[in-house]
Structure 1
Amino acid sequence: MVERTSTAQGVNGRVVVAERPDDIRNVVLVGHSGSGKTTLVEALAVAAGAVPRAGRVEDGTCVSDYDDIEQRQHRSVQLSVVPMGWERLKVNLLDTPGYADFVGELRAGLRAADAALFILSAAAGVEGVSGATLALWEECAQVGMPRAIVLTHLDTARADFEDMTETCREILGGGRSESMLPLHLPVYGPKAADGHRQVTGLIDLLTEHVYDYSTGERTETPVSAEQRAQMEEARGRLIEGIIAESEDETLMDRYLSGEEIDLTTLVADLEKAVARGSFHPVLIAAPPPEGARQGLGTVEILDLIARGFPTPAEHSVFATGSGGKSSAVACDPSAPLAAEVIRTASDPYVGRLSLVRVFSGTLHADDTVHVCGHGPADTGNHDADERVGGVSAPFGKQQRPLPQAIAGDIVCVSKLTRAETGDTLSAKDCPLIIEPWAMPDPLLPVAISAHSKADEDKLSQGLSRLVAEDPTVRLEQNPDTHQLVLWCLGEAHREVALERLRSRFGVQVDVIEHKVALRETFATTASAKGRHVKQSGGHGQYAICEIEVAPLPEGSGIEFVDKVVGGVVPRQFIPSVEKGVRAQALRGVAAGYPLVDVRVTLFDGKAHSVDSSDAAFQMAGALALREAAGSARISLLEPISAVRVVVADEYVGPVLGDLSSRRGRVLGTEPAGLGRTMIRAEVPELELSRYAVDLRSLAHGAATFTRAYARHEAMPAQLAESIRKSAN
């Protein structure tokens, strides 16, 4: 933002070590898929001297998107941290996936960071700013996280700098033009035949300098008359915006009276407003030319991070101690340790690696720490002391050893075999648990089975490691369908989860059709006789029972009533009849689904003094129930989910129509604030298997939903008949 005299640290791979929390900046990059986050991270790493060429460390691998899956799929699927030095500071850049399926990694990055850069492609226009990007912007606003905007892809034919900045003000800034203004204007080269205009430099509106980046090195050039006229209006708006956010209430009056406000005051007020999260500057970025050192805008972005973004001491988290009292954690290297596992991964050489944000205290290699997790599902493995292995700085696939990690830093820790993502690391004599961050609920079911016997032996361990690494994957052993189900956030998330099982944990699985827990019930009353009589020499089998089956209200289960008189069925065999009836009810009587909500009344039967037995009457009871089903109308019951959809107002109509097409019953709508509407509906679970994917497509990422089991109810006769035919 102003002229610099300091040089970058960590040049050519040297480890950057921070001695104080004030020397650290943790910045997360947020943006839609394809906006250029990873490209920008690599360009900043080159500009800071952290790597010698575009995003490559000494072994030739990338500093971000280095994972094998990311390399094959050509997209970010996990959070990565790239540390670098700038102006005697350590800057940790957190590169997050832009695809909605990996929002869990994004939320982890938001938790670990103290400020955010929103990377928006000018070529995407309104679509790049609305939807999920707007939701994340508002989420950061709720916690007061400072934010800046970086515009990329300004060299495309349809990109327009003025239109894009205005779009950002309207959508993200809520129309408050004074709180979201550009610090620079682009300088364009001549237009090419295909309509592209290369951005070759920047006009700094505060210093009134023009910088040329066309050679890959930032050089100052003279200001032309055209450029001075271009910057005049924009500079005036920027100065007024800065003054409006200034803590000096007299500054605006002085400015309006014609007083010239000095540059030092403007820059200081700008930096304070950015750090408070009340002013959101708009910057410009483009990758460097092949083999060059500085990409367009990289120096300006690093300067903003160093001078305008807050230190870790300004990021508060709350932790609960052994006494049950919650309090803010102090960012003090000499305080008791309080750290959080942000991400968990497996390395083929060092085993489990935990990416850790240290909020308080100092973490040393070989320290013994207390590991604690969340929720009633936690076992002893989430509440135990464990010895830390090495502490290192992540840099692509490399791990660069560190002697320690102070409060505010982000490091990798090895050999924490019990710690999972979201767990707290604290001093063993002062155990703490940090309040967890919100994670999205996975709503796309994927039923799996082991591919072979060898895979079956490794499946349990592989799944447990997968769930430990990725808390947005939920594992379920469905008690009704007996299927093993992975719940994921979307199709891309599913593919990555299955690929990790195969490539990292050596487990091959098959995806099978996901079953919904249907049930059966009697819609009418019916009577039947169960006759099991066999004679084949010696003792035979003899049992006859007569029953009546009547429907009951929902939730009644199976009710068995004994109305036998005269001892026609001996008392010792009546429980046998009930056992046979209940066993057959579990197997179903029409399509193989459990029978529920009926009263079975035993009112008559016959027995033989020699040939009757427990097994014979069990068989007779089962036969009687099947016979009764043959003369009654059987209803198939399907589970109904209570669904709540929160959607941007402009997509309410399409979402309501889609819910109706899924046999849903809309119960009502109500405002959800910030241009959103909440829709309440009841939808059959059979229609929700792919709803997580379809809703995202329908509302362009501007909708979320929750589901909860409500009840079972009879499905339409035509659909029930189709299911019965396929089952038989």
Structure 2
Amino acid sequence: MTVRSGRAGSRAGAGAGGTAPTVLDPARIRNVVLVGPSGAGKTTLVEALLAHTGTIPRAGSVGDGATVCDHDPAAVRQQRSVALAVAPLMQGDTKINLIDTPGYGDFVGELRAGLRAADAALFVVPSSAGREGAIDPATVTQWEECAAVGMPRAVVVSRCDHPRADVEATIAACQDVFGAGVAPLYLPLRDGEAMTGLYGLITQTPAGAAPADADDARATLLEGIIEQSEDETLMERYLEGEEIDTEILIEDLETAVARGSFHPVLPVCATSGVGLEALLDGMVRGFPSPLEHPLPRVSGIDGSARPTLTADPDGPLAAEVVRTSADAYVGRVSLVRVFSGTLRPETSVHVSGHVPRPVPADGDASDDGGHDADERLAHVYVPLGAQLREVDMCVAGDIAALTKLGTAETGDTVSSASDPLLLSCWNLPDPLLPVAVVARSRADEDALGRSLTRLVAADPTLRLERNPETHQTVLWCMGEAHADVVLSRLRASGAEVDTEPVKVPLRATIRNPARVTGRHVKQSGGHGQYAVCHVEFEPLPRGSGFEFVSHVVGGAVPTQFIPSVEKGIRTQLERGLTDEHHPVVDVRATLVDGKAHSVDSSDAAFQTAGALALREAGQTCGTVLLEPLDEVAVTIPDDHLGSVLGDLSGRRGRVLGTDVAGPGRTVVRAEVPCTELVRYAVDLRAMTSGTASFTRRRARYEVAPSG
């Protein structure tokens, strides 16, 4: 990032090289996240809005030629945005923080961070979607996610100059897919195929330019506004045929949008600038300020209850790190949304992190253990894509960037050092694609360790696992694109890494019961070694673990050496009985007899005898391999139910049942061998066009098929 010096300002058109836009009243702030599929033109739209307001000289530049999109090398190589980026602009006396998010499904963690930082969502749908007959399924899922939390939404039909553009069909598709409350606020005006302007359905301007379908569209719009704003008096007047004043309609529109029940649609052409001013005005007038949006729950760092937060600049400081990145010049950069209070330079803050990590495949919830540290802020910045511009303060409701917070991770709370607080964390998806990484050389091992620590701190959708059974370092990612970005970042940090096939930890057990002898007798002059133990081994039901029983009578094995036999057996269980060293489980060992020597017997001798007894049992009883099974819950649209069930069957899955998960969606519960799930995250996305999701938890081990 480039750091620029600047002082607080509150004027329109604050350029990238000049003062950073700063607003001290939360009522004059709008935080808007852009949501939509990859290729919809979100970043292009952001840059066009910045150029339109004079924030940057032209679309695609931020003063020094840098774009506002992510400059991660992985993003450049993949030709897509892979990280959240914030671009503030001034529209009159209102500051709009545009939050650009990746459109690819693998980066849903960045999307959810954007939703956390925002008070409203702008869904960007390409104008070709109507002609192609479908809204991107992942976009529909994101719409439902916003609806579940009541986030206000509007729709922008983008790329209206595309050769396959069909604005009217795309608006109709949005109404069909997104449901009630979706209606166009403007209709496109054309000169031939080119969109030259917009016709406002509320204001009926420009006069004399109404499209042929304007009357029907206006009637639908007004009825939707009045219904969703729940203005019963206005509904009566409208039904009686009374002409409603434009200002009253606009006020009711603002109410309906802010409540999250009405969703206006605006066609916009970023390249020509048509619709940009209408969009800016709509965000200022129709979207809620931070004062109107519910804030996260807050507690003391000890879990004690605290009053509900409000977006009060004079309230207790409570900010949240929504993204962490590293810059070659300034080090760690923490992007924060200030929910309450005011961030000021040269002050002490408390950084609290108690974010539960995603649940591992073995089903045991993990946690980072929490971390708390007091740190000192040196500077407060306003981010503009890849640039940082210094400001005097950042008030409640605004977004800022902080540098050199050594302990801050994504999801952490930044609060006053004298009054530490903890914000409730947002929901994070589980990473379900494992990638095993290995340092290319011994010299790269230290660099790999440092890089992995930084990556996990920055990306809460990335889980690091060092598997003690397979001795692999495994990165659990959201999908192939996410894995590609993670590997690119690792290599860019100086760690030369390779990938290798992911090993699924198998286990073993004995096939039949048997009585064996472990004999360890050595005499080579001086103090010898003597231990003999007779042990009965038998297999136990799956999941029983290991049981040790002693039935020794008459002191055949002295009491002090009985635990030694058990310890030797346990050690050998962990080492395994084959060259692959699979741990042995579900075995009962009963010590029934043995022999000892008054001088040569010892703890070490009986440990060795116990281990030898188990190895003898492996040869006598025979062994079988056990593979882990996971219980998976796959949530899918009903249209894909047949293909998913067939695929699970092909993976040796056992379907346990199905449940209704809502209109048109089903949850399939099944048990599937883990070896068949290594790439299931990728295959399921391809099979269902990104509309399905699944969770997994360890069920048990079962006998693996031979051969």
**Structure 1-normalised TM-score?**
0.87
Aligned residue pairs total 684
Superposition deviation, residue 365 in structure 1: 0.7
Instruction: Tell which deviates more after alignment, 386-395 or 517-526.
Output: 517-526
SS in 1 for 2:203: coil
Superposition deviation, residue 501 in structure 1: 2.2
> Could you list the runs of 5+ residues in structure 2 that have no partner in the other structure?
1-9, 357-365
Change (3 A) 1:696 1:622: same
Superposition deviation, residue 159 in structure 1: 4.0
Residue 72, structure 1, aligned to residue 69, structure 2: no
SS in 2 for 1:595: coil
SS in 2 for 1:420: coil
Distance 2:329 2:309 in 1: 34
| Residue in 1 that maps onto 2:156 | 150
> Could you list the runs of 5+ residues in structure 1 that have no partner in the other structure?
1-5, 191-196, 211-221, 290-294, 723-728
Distance 1:646 1:350 in 2: 43
Corresponding residue to 2:13 among 9, 13, 36: 9
Change (3 A) 1:560 1:273: closer
| Residue in 2 that maps onto 1:200 | 196
Distance 1:473 1:430 in 2: 31
Residue 275, structure 1, aligned to residue 251, structure 2: no
Counterpart amino acid of 1:59?
Answer: D
Which digits, 9 at most, give the CA deviation of each residue in 1:576-619, with x for residues without a partner?
54443332222212442111111233445566788766655544
Paired residues of 2:158 and 2:270 also in contact (CA < 8 A) = no
Change (3 A) 1:128 1:354: farther
| Residue in 2 that maps onto 1:314 | 292
Identity value in percent: 57
Change (3 A) 1:403 1:268: same
Paired residues of 1:28 and 1:93 also in contact (CA < 8 A) = yes
Distance 1:574 1:323 in 2: 47
| Residue in 1 that maps onto 2:221 | 238
**Alignment RMSD (CA, Å):** 2.8
Distance 1:538 1:246 in 2: 97
Superposition deviation, residue 202 in structure 1: 2.5
Counterpart amino acid of 2:71?
Answer: Y
Counterpart amino acid of 1:489?
Answer: M
Residue 301, structure 1, aligned to residue 279, structure 2: yes
| Residue in 1 that maps onto 2:189 | 187
Superposition deviation, residue 23 in structure 1: 1.3
Change (3 A) 1:482 1:271: same
SS in 1 for 2:221: helix
After the TM superposition, which residues 341-490 of structure 1 pair with which residues of structure 2 at under 5 Å, given as runs? Answer: 341-374=321-354, 382-490=371-479
| Residue in 2 that maps onto 1:655 | 644
| Residue in 2 that maps onto 1:338 | 318
Paired residues of 2:133 and 2:173 also in contact (CA < 8 A) = no
Corresponding residue to 1:325 among 288, 302, 305: 305
Distance 1:378 1:388 in 2: 27
Change (3 A) 1:336 1:563: closer
Paired residues of 1:382 and 1:423 also in contact (CA < 8 A) = no
Change (3 A) 1:302 1:613: same
Change (3 A) 1:372 1:686: same
SS in 2 for 1:250: helix
Distance 1:697 1:621 in 2: 52
Paired residues of 1:55 and 1:64 also in contact (CA < 8 A) = no
Higher relative contact order (CA 8 A, sep 6+): 2
Change (3 A) 1:538 1:46: same
Distance 1:330 1:412 in 2: 21
| Residue in 2 that maps onto 1:218 | none
Counterpart amino acid of 2:396?
Answer: A
Distance 1:701 1:106 in 2: 15
SS in 2 for 1:637: strand
Paired residues of 1:120 and 1:128 also in contact (CA < 8 A) = no
Which digits, 9 at most, give the CA deviation of each residue in 1:359-410, with x for residues without a partner?
1111111111122222577779732321112111111222111010111110
Superposition deviation, residue 86 in structure 1: 0.9
Which digits, 9 at most, give the CA deviation of each residue in 1:150-206, with x for residues without a partner?
112344455432322222112211xx3xx211122223444xxxxxx4433323323
Instruction: Tell which deviates more after alignment, 490-499 or 259-268.
Output: 259-268
Instruction: Tell which deviates more after alignment, 666-675 or 445-454.
Output: 445-454
Corresponding residue to 1:285 among 268, 271, 281: 268
Corresponding residue to 1:258 among 207, 216, 241: 241
Distance 1:389 1:378 in 2: 30
Instruction: Tell which deviates more after alignment, 574-583 or 372-381.
Output: 372-381
Superposition deviation, residue 529 in structure 1: 4.2
| Residue in 2 that maps onto 1:726 | none
Paired residues of 1:130 and 1:171 also in contact (CA < 8 A) = no
SS in 1 for 2:621: coil
Superposition deviation, residue 707 in structure 1: 1.2
Change (3 A) 1:500 1:127: farther
Superposition deviation, residue 300 in structure 1: 1.4
| Residue in 1 that maps onto 2:31 | 26
Paired residues of 1:180 and 1:279 also in contact (CA < 8 A) = yes
Superposition deviation, residue 412 in structure 1: 0.5
Counterpart amino acid of 1:330?
Answer: T
Paired residues of 1:516 and 1:685 also in contact (CA < 8 A) = yes
Instruction: Tell which deviates more after alignment, 67-76 or 474-483.
Output: 474-483
Superposition deviation, residue 411 in structure 1: 0.8
Superposition deviation, residue 462 in structure 1: 2.3
Change (3 A) 1:320 1:621: closer
Which digits, 9 at most, give the CA deviation of each residue in 1:484-532, with x for residues without a partner?
222111111112122222223x323332332222211112113444455
Distance 2:162 2:66 in 1: 29
Instruction: Tell which deviates more after alignment, 25-34 or 200-209.
Output: 200-209
Which digits, 9 at most, give the CA deviation of each residue in 1:121-175, with x for residues without a partner?
23244776353222221221222211001112344455432322222112211xx
Superposition deviation, residue 70 in structure 1: 1.7
Change (3 A) 1:564 1:338: closer
Paired residues of 1:80 and 1:94 also in contact (CA < 8 A) = yes
Distance 1:561 1:434 in 2: 50
| Residue in 2 that maps onto 1:115 | 120
SS in 2 for 1:261: coil
Paired residues of 1:446 and 1:485 also in contact (CA < 8 A) = yes
Counterpart amino acid of 1:331?
Answer: A
Paired residues of 2:355 and 2:425 also in contact (CA < 8 A) = no
Paired residues of 1:369 and 1:425 also in contact (CA < 8 A) = yes
| Residue in 2 that maps onto 1:215 | none
Superposition deviation, residue 271 in structure 1: 2.2
Superposition deviation, residue 565 in structure 1: 6.2
